[in-house]
A and B are shown apart, each in its own frame.
Chain A
Amino acid sequence: MAKRIEATDVTAYYGGFKAIENINLTVEPKTVTALIGPSGCGKSTFLRSINRMHEVLPGARVEGSLTIDNQDIYDRDVDVTAVRRMIGMVFQRPNPFPTMSIFENVVAGLRLNGVRRKSILEEAAEKALRSANLWDEVKDRLGKPGAGLSGGQQQRLCIARTIAVEPQVVLMDEPCSALDPISTLAIEDLMFQLKDKFTIIIVTHNMQQAARVSDRTAFFSIEKTGDPGRLIEYDNTQKIFSNPSQKKTEDYITGRFG
């Protein structure tokens, strides 16, 4: 199910501003990869270019090649909606659809794909909510608004919504930064379980979190404000946090910089 992602010389722009430059990175299937680095270093930009969400912003574009199991997702013939269905995304702030119930939120993606049969939707919703460790908390109020849940529950609802369409890859853009420690723990636990089925890439500012959840860690940095972000070091998480080969990485993880 899960697929391998290969980025070659990925450079992304916002209009005239070059946000990241020449990122080369390979993500193996069924692993958790953490992207860390100081604010503005382009890790979220890189994450958003993986499912072509970067280009949603006016003037934004990506150069270089990004392949998923050797298929270039930026190929002219590729349907961008198919790419996004294959590569799901969880955002920094929980963003359930405010006008929809919990159930409708979870099946929103399936409905977009044309699934109409109620029995199929119900089955898929339960499966996704169980995978997101949310089922027991919401099974009695599936018809209530999704926005009425707590922040942590909303974020798990968004994860359920993302995995309900059974993507190959799940991207998470600082998914816990708006959450309290207990909800954060719940989501980290969830990542361990999800990695059996999905390739996960997570952007995080929290280095303990990166160390706890990821197999591999990529450290991004910038020289100074206005410069494009670059990939400084990419290695096994254990290596990055115990014995990084780059001085900049060491400075960052020991808190001397950033």
Chain B
Amino acid sequence: MGDTPHRSAHAGTGGTRVATSHEWPAGASARVAEPSGIPGIPDNGLGGGGGLPRARAFGAERAFRGLTLAAGTTVLVVIAAIAIFLIAKAVPALRVNTESFWTFEGWFPNDDPPKFGIGALAFGTVLSSLLALLMAVPVALGIALYLSHYAPRRLGNALGFLIDLLAAVPSVVFGLWGRDYFAQPVADLSAWLNKYFGWIPIFGEGPYGSSILLGSVVLAIMVLPIVTSLSREVFRQTPTANEEAALALGATRWEMVRTAVLPYGRPGVIAAVMLGLGRALGETIALALTLGSTYAISFNILQSGGNSIAANIANRFAEANDTGRGALIASGLVLFAITLMVNITARAIIYRRREFTESAA
């Protein structure tokens, strides 16, 4: 109703009938307009019998398009600015590095001559994240399936809320908890693992304490809520028709989940896992508090030690000089490259089955 007078105001050619419609209250303008032959649209006074209203030179449509374009451009500008900043800072530090950036195990960028290598850090980052996913994803999928397909609705909603609450806990809290309370149980577990499964190389000798295992368990707990709540949403969206189709074929509940729910949710679950991996790779403070901050590549996940790119940046930034900061920024670039590769891989996996997933939508 309200936009009727507005419209005629814009038409603005000042026909007598337009003027009349202005004098009427907005609610009545439609009735005035009836002589134009189209109920509800007032004759705007353009041209003779029933000319179409002219397109508005400037309206909400254009303004909105402009706003969205500006927002989109901002993203590109910010990304470009960050990339330029990172590369500009990293290159000088990499130039003065006297050891191989890729293979040297150590981080002495403040020394003269500076020596630092990303190998151990990148290795620690990937290893701790993968271990965290390995522990978190099966549990998360189990919880998600329980919440979406097994639990009574009320219990499901309450538990789902709790899980989301877990996601809201700041990572520094997880880090402190992991370091102060969780380290001892994990050390005991490590000793036990080494005693009985020591023949597997990853369960090596101690000393136990701030190990990759501790870091990845804490990471797993942090990743759990993201993967859980996203997968739960995906599983919930399974069309009832498909679930019923499976049940009507004589499927048990688990068979129904396997035939209808899991395949349908697959791309969504992959996306959820990748988001979880993204969080794990970039996690800083929790790992800075729980890893041993060493610079060696070792598959022994029980021994004190381990490090990650982000944790190393947090630990070393305060003491870094110019070259040191450049070196840390270079390590950040590597982390960025790793996350990018993870994302591309995830997309490739989803894309490979597009023929099936698209028709599912």
Contacts and interface: CB of A to CB of B under 8 A. Distances in A.
Contact of B360 (A93, A98, A158): A98
B236 interface: no
Interface stretch (A22-30, A107-115, A120-128): A107-115
Contact of B249 (A56, A84, A100, A147): A84
Q: Identify which of B239, B241, B263 gathers the most chain A CB atoms within 10 Å of its CB.
A: B241
B338 to A, nearest CB: 30
B11 interface: no
Contacts of B250: 81-85, 109, 112-113, 165
A97 B255 contact: no
B126 to A, nearest CB: 30
Contacts of B357: 98-99
Contact of A56 (B153, B242, B244, B353): B244
Contacts of B153: 58
B13 to A, nearest CB: 50
Interface residues of A, number: 31
A162 B251 CA distance: 12
B248 A51 contact: yes
B149 to A, nearest CB: 12
A95 B248 CA distance: 12
B235 interface: no
B247 interface: yes
B355 interface: yes
Contacts of B353: 99
A226 interface: no
A252 interface: no
A138 interface: no
Contacts, number: 83
Interface in B305-361: 353, 355-357, 359-360
B266 interface: yes
A228 interface: no
Contacts of A37: none
Interface string A212-254: 0000000000000000000000000000000000000000000
Contacts of A51: 248
Interface string B237-277: 00101101111111110010001100110100000000000
B208 to A, nearest CB: 45
Interface in B124-159: 153
Contacts of A109: 249-250
Chain B contact residues, majority secondary structure: helix
B245 A53 contact: no
Contacts of B359: 98, 145, 147-148
Given A91-B241, A97-B259, A97-B263, A112 B356 contact: no
Given A95-B242, A145-B356, A145-B359, A88 B260 contact: no
A95 B259 CA distance: 13
Nearest to A105: B245
A89 interface: yes
A85 B359 CA distance: 28
A249 to B, nearest CB: 30
A98 B248 contact: no
Nearest to B263: A99
A179 B13 CA distance: 53
Interface string A66-98: 000000000000000111110011010101111
Looking at B247, B249, B259, B357, the one whose CB has the most chain A CB atoms below 10 A away is B249
Task: Output the residue of B247, B266, B357 with the most chain A CB within 10 A.
Answer: B247
Nearest to B262: A99
A161 interface: yes
Contacts of A162: 248-249
Contacts of B239: 95, 98
Contact of A161 (B244, B249, B264, B360): B249
A168 B248 CA distance: 13
A144 B255 CA distance: 23
Given A58-B153, A84-B250, A85-B250, A99 B245 contact: no
Contact of B244 (A81, A95, A98, A113): A95
Contacts of B242: 95, 97-98
B252 to A, nearest CB: 6
B249 A112 contact: yes
A94 B263 CA distance: 18
B259 A112 contact: yes
Nearest to A94: B241
Top 9 A-B residue pairs of the complex, sorted by shortest distance between their CB atoms: A85-B250, A98-B360, A147-B359, A99-B263, A95-B241, A109-B249, A89-B248, A84-B250, A81-B250
Given A81-B250, A112-B255, A161-B249, 12 more contacts: A56-B247, A95-B245, A97-B242, A98-B356, A99-B357, A99-B360, A100-B356, A108-B246, A108-B249, A113-B250, A148-B359, A161-B245
